[in-house]
Structure 1
Amino acid sequence: MSNSSDSVDLLLEGLTLDSDHLLPVFLLLLFAYIFVLFSNFCMCFLIISERSLHQPMYLLYLNLSTNDILGNTTVMPRLLYDMLRPPALRHIHLYGCVVQAFLAILFNTTGYTILMIMAFDRYVAICLPLRYSALMNARMLVRLMVWAWGVAFVFVGVLIGLTLRLSMCRSLVSGLYCNNASLFKLSCESTYINNVYGLFFTVVLFSSSIGSVVLTYTKITVACLTSKSASLNRKALQTCSTHLLSYLVFLCSGLLIITFHRFPQLTQERKFITIMYHLLPSGLNPLIYGVQSKEVRRGFRGMVSKIITVKQK
């Protein structure tokens, strides 16, 4: 955005509550954010430190946890900080707003691309078990991870780039935090190109995400129904249920935000749905994988026993 952006300060709308609800909501969000950080950092440390978890599925989950930490840290500290300040003092520099918008959208996009790759990994493991080691080797895994982050980076970069070309005539950033829509709404120019690309971006992301998951799980279901192997069906149920549950939580949270945007009068409700979109999937994922996966539970018990042994010495 032009108009001497070197000295542009914007005003964040943020979350405004009455004095009776401010402290309880602040503490609730603070503890939820701490839980998200703690649980995902624990999962990352566990996967990195335990050799038994150096498998494609868990290394992909490592990317998902990293993305959850990034996405929540982009939004929550600033949101909590602004809750303790009066609305008139919630200033943010334009460059800081752009960085926050970029990282927030990157979190959203990368979440879908990683879950798409995890669906492909489950398909290969269930439907092509004899070729799994050859197909999901280290080189392929690196390529898939680079693709997940690279595609998201390019698409989001173009999205933000189209917004930065606009001149700015307003200073109030609507919503909880900076995002692409709140940025281009600061301009008085035509945002037709931004709206078209934004719609294209959303359609491609959701259609490719839903399409890939439906396709892979359809093939997995067919393979399980036509197979007489009880061990295959048990493996499919155990490994696929965790991924599918994580995907559905993330997808439904995103669809709720889109739905609430069609009701402008529900501003406060939309803000809380947006907060839950960041906190809920990120907080549930470690629990889902920790409870369902025997390898994760075994690794966690081993890590706890090592800590106890070190303390006893």
Structure 2
Amino acid sequence: MKKENHTLVNRFTFQGFSSFHEHQLTLFIMFFVLYMLTLAGNIIIMTIISLDRHLHTPMYFFLGMLSASETVYTLIIIPKMLCNLIDLSRPISLAGCATQMFLFITLAINNCFLLTAMGYDRYVAICNPLRYTVIMNKKVCVRLAWGACSIGLIVAMAQVTSVFRLPFCATKVAHFFCDIRPVMKLSCIDTTVNEILTLIISVLVILVPTGLVFISYILIISTILKIASAEGRKKAFATSASHLTVVIVHYGCASIAYLKPKSENTKDQDQLISVTYTIITPLLNPVVYTLRNKEVKDALLRAIGRKLS
């Protein structure tokens, strides 16, 4: 859309999935079902972890925090997206867009660093098991969780402030939520400085956690290979497999979305990538940790048994 100079706006509308207008109802049903599954899965994980004393360990503390973060993360994006699939003309105010972007960035970064904390937890559990309870005590876990949230809040404040100080002339956001690049494209002025800032932040909050997790797993794998018994190696690999699966998908999607050249993909390709990290990845968390994790499955069966009795 051509931008008109000197015509400032105070609200936006989302183009959403307008390219697939004839499939709006199908998309609505599909995304609604996935959203319900995501909510149900994460709520079940949080409930099981809080109620079952066998899961009151650092690993499941971080998993519960991740599930809570993913739940709020989807709440700020998907309901609005579903409404727009029904009514494409529904606007969002400038303040509403800034709030959505702020919460989205905060929780996305929080998730990245929570996964890093979970990687550190697995490293201590496997590489230093005798001192695990001393190193990963309650105070350390709370500090790591609070640190992940604090980094998200600080970075989100800087990013949102830089974006919404820009004057906007166009009103159509070529996306289904207030993501950084689609909103910046609506500015009347050159946004090169903002794009450089966004790239620097993306590199720091994606590559730094990825590097830390990568180092953790190099040390974990080298320790596992030294275990004498095959059963011991299998058990050690099993405790880390679920986390590693989520890490690969989460950081992989984030890297594709925010570290690729801005003109590399079309709008539809960008939206497909965004659907992956806003809908599929939050659903992956409960699926992986319930289907691949024996302790969570056992806790779920115990809870079902108590309910039936």
Aligned residues: 303
Shift of 1:70: 1.3
Letter of the structure 2 residue corresponding to residue 205 of structure 1: V
Shift of 1:209: 1.7
Matches within 5 A, 1:76-225: 76-85=78-87, 87=88, 89-225=89-225
1:32 matches 2:30 = no
Q: Judging changes above 3 Å, is the alpha-carbon distance between structure 1 residues 169 and 18 closer, same or farther for their aligned structure 2 residues?
A: closer
2:76–2:103 CA contact under 8 A, matched in 1: yes
- Distance in 1 separating the partners of 2:145 and 2:233: 28
Q: What residue in structure 1 maps to residue 59 of structure 2?
A: 57
Matches within 5 A, 1:254-273: 254-258=254-258, 259=260, 261-264=262-265, 266-273=266-273
Gaps of 5+ in 1: none
Shift of 1:182: 2.6
- Stretch deviating more after TM superposition (224-233 or 277-286): 224-233
Q: What residue in structure 2 maps to residue 283 of structure 1?
A: 283
- Stretch deviating more after TM superposition (213-222 or 12-21): 12-21
- Distance in 2 separating the partners of 1:158 and 1:84: 33
Q: Judging changes above 3 Å, is the alpha-carbon distance between structure 1 residues 230 and 133 closer, same or farther for their aligned structure 2 residues?
A: farther
1:46–1:300 CA contact under 8 A, matched in 2: yes
Letter of the structure 1 residue corresponding to residue 177 of structure 2: Y
Shift of 1:199: 1.1
Post-superposition Cα deviations, 1:137-186, rounded to whole Å, max 9, x if no partner, equal 00001100001111111111111111222233332222111122233333
1:15–1:79 CA contact under 8 A, matched in 2: no
- Distance in 2 separating the partners of 1:181 and 1:104: 13
- Distance in 1 separating the partners of 2:15 and 2:269: 15
Letter of the structure 1 residue corresponding to residue 134 of structure 2: A
Q: What residue in structure 2 maps to residue 73 of structure 1?
A: 75
Q: What residue in structure 1 maps to residue 235 of structure 2?
A: 235
Gaps of 5+ in 2: 1-5
Q: What residue in structure 2 maps to residue 302 of structure 1?
A: 302
- Distance in 1 separating the partners of 2:267 and 2:20: 15
- Distance in 2 separating the partners of 1:73 and 1:276: 16
Match of 1:202, SS state, is: helix
1:15 matches 2:17 = yes
- Distance in 2 separating the partners of 1:141 and 1:231: 29
1:261–1:270 CA contact under 8 A, matched in 2: no
Query: What TM-score comes out, normalization by structure 2 length?
Result: 0.91
Letter of the structure 1 residue corresponding to residue 293 of structure 2: S
- Distance in 2 separating the partners of 1:287 and 1:12: 30
Letter of the structure 2 residue corresponding to residue 192 of structure 1: T
Match of 1:269, SS state, is: helix
Query: What TM-score comes out, normalization by structure 1 length?
Result: 0.90
Shift of 1:24: 1.5
Match of 1:227, SS state, is: coil
- Distance in 1 separating the partners of 2:110 and 2:7: 32
Q: Judging changes above 3 Å, is the alpha-carbon distance between structure 1 residues 164 and 269 closer, same or farther for their aligned structure 2 residues?
A: closer
Shift of 1:129: 0.3
Shift of 1:41: 0.5
Q: What residue in structure 1 maps to residue 48 of structure 2?
A: 46
RMSD: 2.1
